[in-house]
Structure 1
Amino acid sequence: MTESLALLFILFFKIGAFSFGGGLAMLPVIFQTISEHGLMTAGEFANLVAISQVTPGPVVVNAATYVGFNVASFAGSLSATIGVTLPALVICMTATKFLDKFKENRIIMNVMKGIRPATIGLVASGVIFLAREMTFAPIPLIIFAATVVMSGKFKINPIVITLIMAVAGGLLCG
């Protein structure tokens, strides 16, 4: 059990320390990491992504908590969650201290210009992963299209859309 907790902490600490671009960009890294260690199947991970999206809080924290719980119950969720959030806490506290000094630094600005396209690539990778795991049956495609229309054309609140589509999915897919 202690080995599992240590492994979860180390894996998610690395993910938190070396992934950029937020939760969606970090999902492929999480999947690759947990797959290499046999912690979850692709189908289980697809469910994790859906649950992480609809539960309150950052996607990556929700994902870490879910994986940790799946592997080692409450202690595992705590270990993975602390592991993934600790690097961000330390980096933010350090960056805040030095932010004013480097605000106009050309090297820092160029580093940020390099990180942006990489972040977009990581998010795109997450979308591709989810698309591969999605069942392309008529009902899920209709739910997807309705979500895009409700969000893009009618500007309906995402919370309302999520609730509507959860009910639709439960009624139509179950």
Structure 2
Amino acid sequence: MSALIQLFVSFFKIGIISFGGGYAMIPLIEREIIENQGWLTEAQFLDIIAVAEMTPGPIAVNSATYIGYQTEGLLGAVAATLGVVTPSFIAMIVLAYVITKSQHLKAVKGALKSIVAGVVALIGFATIKIALSTGLVNFSEGVKIDYVATFIAIAAFSLLKFTKIHPVLILIGFGFLGIIVY
């Protein structure tokens, strides 16, 4: 039972200190799961992020569920998922009340604006970390760029930005392209 409590507490901590959604949580999840707890390897974590991205639902919840399942089975999935969503649930209730009552205040507007800037930084960090971990860009042996993967990333971004193609179809399409190319 202590492993289930540890899963809940680990993901509760991640959920309580994260602001900005799942992508902003990725560096925190990685640090807790790989470095602090040693539950998974970097490769396993990247696989989980890839699967969590492709499946419906928020990436943080999907990641927590999958990590919980990997470490402690079905009960681990439940514990990790509850851990990551509970802080958000509580925070949304409290914040909805507070913001509704104080949204006209200049200080509240300023605080929210600076929090958004911090979230952008967290998402950027996660993007760079994933690009480096997957070999899209490699600095360990000089600057090496996987031009095919870079093209795929730019093409996927462009399709997301400039078309109305559903992201799942883009992922499936580039998944098939990856099978052919790699």
**TM-score normalised by structure 2 residue count:** 0.86
Alpha-carbon distance, 1:141 to partner: 3.4
> Is 1:130 the counterpart of 2:97 in the alignment?
no
Question: Take 1:145 and 1:113, find their aligned partners in 2: how far apart are those partners?
Answer: 29
Question: Take 1:145 and 1:97, find their aligned partners in 2: how far apart are those partners?
Answer: 41
SS at match of 1:25: helix
* Structure holding more helix per residue: 1
Question: Take 2:105 and 2:118, find their aligned partners in 1: how far apart are those partners?
Answer: 21
Alpha-carbon distance, 1:166 to partner: 1.9
Question: Take 1:116 and 1:148, find their aligned partners in 2: how far apart are those partners?
Answer: 21
CA spacing shift, 1:143–1:94, aligned 2, 3 Å: same
Question: Take 1:51 and 1:116, find their aligned partners in 2: how far apart are those partners?
Answer: 27
Question: Take 1:57 and 1:33, find their aligned partners in 2: how far apart are those partners?
Answer: 22
Aligned to 1:170: 179
SS at match of 2:40: coil
Aligned to 2:141: none
SS at match of 1:104: coil
Q: Structure 1 regions of 5+ residues with no counterpart?
A: none
**Deviation readout 1:99-153 (Å, 9 max, x if unpaired):** 3211112222222122111111101110111011113445433432332343345
Q: Structure 2 regions of 5+ residues with no counterpart?
A: 137-145
Question: Take 1:4 and 1:67, find their aligned partners in 2: how far apart are those partners?
Answer: 13
Greater relative CO (CA pairs within 8 A, separation 6+): 1
CA spacing shift, 1:152–1:99, aligned 2, 3 Å: closer
> Is 1:80 the counterpart of 2:89 in the alignment?
no
After TM superposition, list the pairs within 5 Å mapping 1:97-136 onto structure 2.
97-136=97-136
**Deviation readout 1:46-80 (Å, 9 max, x if unpaired):** 11111111100001000101111111011111000
SS at match of 1:15: helix
Question: Take 1:100 and 1:151, find their aligned partners in 2: how far apart are those partners?
Answer: 33
Segment of structure 1 superposing worse, 7-16 or 145-154: 145-154
Aligned to 1:55: 55
The percentage of aligned residue pairs carrying the same residue is 30
Aligned to 1:20: 19
User: Would you say how many aligned residue pairs link Structure 1 and Structure 2?
Assistant: 172
After TM superposition, list the pairs within 5 Å mapping 1:26-45 onto structure 2.
26-35=25-34, 36-45=36-45
Which amino acid letter does the alignment assign opposite residue 79 of structure 1? A
